[in-house]
Amino acid sequence: MTFWERNQLKLAPFLFLAPAILIFLIYVIYPIIDSIWVSFHEWNGMDKNGTRGNGNPNWSWVGLKNYVVLFTDDEEFYVSLFNNIRWLLFSLIAIPIGLLLALFVNQSILGMRYIKSLFYFPFVINAVVIGVIFTWFYNPKYGALTYVLSLFGLDPIPVLADENLATYGIIIASFFPGIAYTMILYITGLTGVNREMVEAGRIDGASGFTMLWHVILPQLKPATLIAVVVTIVGSLRSFDLIAVMTAGGPWGSTEVLAYKMYQESLFNYRMGYGAAIATILFLIMDIYIAWFLYRLFKNEKSEK
Amino acid sequence: MKKLITLIVLFTSTVVSAGTLVVNSNQSGESSKAAFDAYVDAFRAAHPEVTVVVNEFEHEAYKTAIRNFLTAEAPDVAIWFAGNRMKFFVDQNLFQDVSDVWADAGLNDSMASTKGSLTVDGKQYGVPWGYYQWGVYYRKDLFDNLGLNVPKNWEEFKWVCAMLKKNDITPITIGTKFLWTAGGWFDYLNLRINGYQFHMDLTAGKVSYEDPRLDATFAAWRELIDPGYFLEDHASFSWQDAQAPQINGEAAMYLIGNFYVPTLESAGVVDKMDFFQFPTIVEGVGIAEDAPTDTMHIPSGAKNVEDAKKFLAFMSNKEAATNWATMGGMLSPNKYADKPTNRFSVMGAEMLAAADDIAQFWDRDANPDMAGAAMEGFQEFMVKPDREAKIRARLEKERARIHGDL
């Protein structure tokens, strides 16, 4: 027996995994480490051995300076961080709405199949398109919102030009695909709901909200977990809608960490500073992902 | 996306052989592409021995792509902008000195008016191909209806605004969503009040944003902001969105560049429109205008420098120079080029020829980092003028970080 024949079964999984692991290392792990390394430097994104107009090198070690400036001397960083938190909290509203829609479309009525696909449609549209549509919707001069307000005799609200409202305006736009996605998760979850338990509940006199809360929802827990995870990760990564709808404005009030990172590194030529922001964002996500994995493993253990 | 662009550049530059000239272009608009193609075709006809390969980029994407391709895989010719935007790459040794092209092709004579914006330490690092004026594009029909004349000074300008406002017409349209339109207003107010040299010192980071001389600039701006002369909610509009009120006859004036004219033509209102120079504010201050110049450069990593220099020197061909500029709605920097025929270009050419000084534009004169922060501040000031002190303190902090203490 050759070496291969003897160990075929043990080696095969690794061989199958190898391409994926290799790509993961090159495109995910290496950039993470490299970003952290860059964040300890001042770099304008040009040749690392070159010099700037004022004679300073393009690339130089500055230790923790980028982080110190970020935390002590950059008001915009706190604006972005606060906006990220707002995104995180308010985008969760999409989940109960998605659940309600799922319950609504989960009835066997003629043509419901088509209504389902209509509700799912926003998730398929590109975020840029959604951003443009909502920008028109909010347009204080010619937009649909202004028109609706005028029917009630109200003045137009310049949602995207108001520093206090703009972020909420964009979050509402993000509901559009977000609700569709959570709805699909719940529809799949609902098909797995145990009918016998529903019957048993009915015999015990549960109906309406009691039924939903005590019988259906506990069975939808896996779907809820995924919905929460996807929504939160999505809210931390929110970028495309902001870039399209406000470009971070008015005067930087809708910036989030991901957008600020893009702005600093690509437009302001501060790669090191941008990398420091990316690292902070990475750490925030880490805390959250650690909590998620902990929950996941705990669940699996208890099931065993 | 950037990777893809780099790949395309890599691919196109590895298949080329000697005698091939690779040009990276940002002329992606319909009319500007046709104009650039005309120049390339004329060059091909004059130099059949050179094979020209054009890599076309989308105009905005080009701004980030250029840093990649200049360092990674340089073309032989790259289109770019004069002023600080060029200097950034000159400082990085990414653009070549082309002073010899200027001397050999007689550009020192024919391009004298724009030479300054392409010169760093006495050497030229690129050749201009077009520029355009800024000024106030206004609805002549609305002015005529109310019996208003073109304002020549600040008092008249404010009076015109007041009259328009009284008749329920928005005096000035503007969309500051992408900030740079606010930079245009700051440019003109500051140039008219403090003059060209002070403005250049400010963009070079040599003057504090809390300098008392800037008080007058912000005060004049406020004279238009407080009575509500600017389009309401302008922070939600892009510069294109802000065209609509003027095209619909709801707004009267727009401070913008000449690239606005093709829109006016396609919207069918060009006959109702006219143009005037930004009014004088302080008597005796030299008249300076914003006239951004678009340019061509030879990257340091160019492989076919010889043909690249021919391509740049071809701008001395007055016919090719004329076509490229006028087809794209611009003015040719070549003084022997045919005079423009479009009336807005004619007015622009006369105005610029008479100007004492030419500025590039806020975000082309200032360091990119500072320009962005400042324009954000200008936008905030235009909506919340009471925050002036806070905004200027913040900008000064940015200036000190970027340019060092004074």
Tokens 């004069």 locate to B82
Residue B344 has pLDDT above 80, yes or no: yes
Distance of residue B247 Cα from the nearest chain A Cα, in angstroms: 14
Distance of residue B394 Cα from the nearest chain A Cα, in angstroms: 10
Highest mean pLDDT among A52-56, B91-95, B100-104: B100-104
Residue B181 has pLDDT above 80, yes or no: yes
**Residue B78: Cβ-neighbour burial (10 angstroms; 0-12, 13-18, 19+):** buried
What is the CATH topology of the domain spanning B2-131+294-354?
A: D-Maltodextrin-Binding Protein; domain 2 (3.40.190)
Residue B8 has pLDDT above 70, yes or no: no
**Quick one: which of A267, A36, A200, A205 has its CA closest to B61?**
A267
Q: What average pLDDT score do residues B58-62 get?
A: 80
| A contacts of B236 (beta carbons < 8 Å) | 135, 138-140, 158-161
Backbone angles phi, psi at B33, to 5 degrees: -65, -45
Q: What is the pLDDT of residue B14?
A: 46
Residue B84 has pLDDT above 70, yes or no: yes
Residue ranges covered by each domain of chain A: 74-303
Interface touch A251/B91, C-beta < 8 Å: no
Q: What is the pLDDT of residue B339?
A: 82
Residue ranges covered by each domain of chain B: 2-131+294-354, 134-290+367-403
A58 interfacial to chain B (CB closer than 8 Å): yes
| A contacts of B179 (beta carbons < 8 Å) | 247, 249
ipTM tops the 0.90 cut: no
- State pLDDT tens for residues A94-150: 999 999 988 888 877 778 888 888 888 888 888 889 999 999 999 888 889 989 998
| A contacts of B376 (beta carbons < 8 Å) | 249, 251-252
Residue B392 has pLDDT above 90, yes or no: yes
| B contacts of A270 (beta carbons < 8 Å) | 369
Lowest mean pLDDT among A257-261, A275-279, B109-113: B109-113
Residue B160 has pLDDT above 80, yes or no: yes
Interface touch A141/B244, C-beta < 8 Å: yes
Mean pLDDT of chain B: 88
Among B94, B244, B379, beta carbon nearest to A249: B379
Q: What average pLDDT score do residues B322-338 get?
A: 84
Q: What is the pLDDT of residue A303?
A: 62
Residue B381 has pLDDT above 90, yes or no: yes
Interface touch A269/B394, C-beta < 8 Å: no
Q: CB of A88 within 8 A of CB of A236?
A: yes
Among B71, B87, B233, beta carbon nearest to A53: B87
How many A/B residue pairs have CB atoms within 8 Å?
78
The residues, any chain, with a CB within 8 Å of residue A301's CB and separated by 6 or more, are none
What global pTM score does this model have? 0.82
Among B233, B379, B380, beta carbon nearest to A158: B233
CATH class of A74-303: mainly alpha
Among A158, A251, A267, beta carbon nearest to B368: A267
Q: What is the pLDDT of residue A53?
A: 66
Among A47, A138, A247, beta carbon nearest to B178: A247
Q: Which token pair is B112?
A: 């004298």
Q: What is the pLDDT of residue B44?
A: 92
Q: What is the pLDDT of residue A24?
A: 94
Q: Which token pair is A134?
A: 């909502």
| A contacts of B377 (beta carbons < 8 Å) | 251
Give the residue from chain A lying closest to B371, CA to CA: A268
Q: Do domains B2-131+294-354 and B134-290+367-403 have the same CATH topology?
A: yes
- B134-290+367-403 homologous superfamily: Periplasmic binding protein-like II (3.40.190.10)
- State pLDDT tens for residues A192-244: 888 888 888 888 887 778 888 878 888 888 888 888 888 888 888 888 899 88
Residue B202 has pLDDT above 90, yes or no: yes
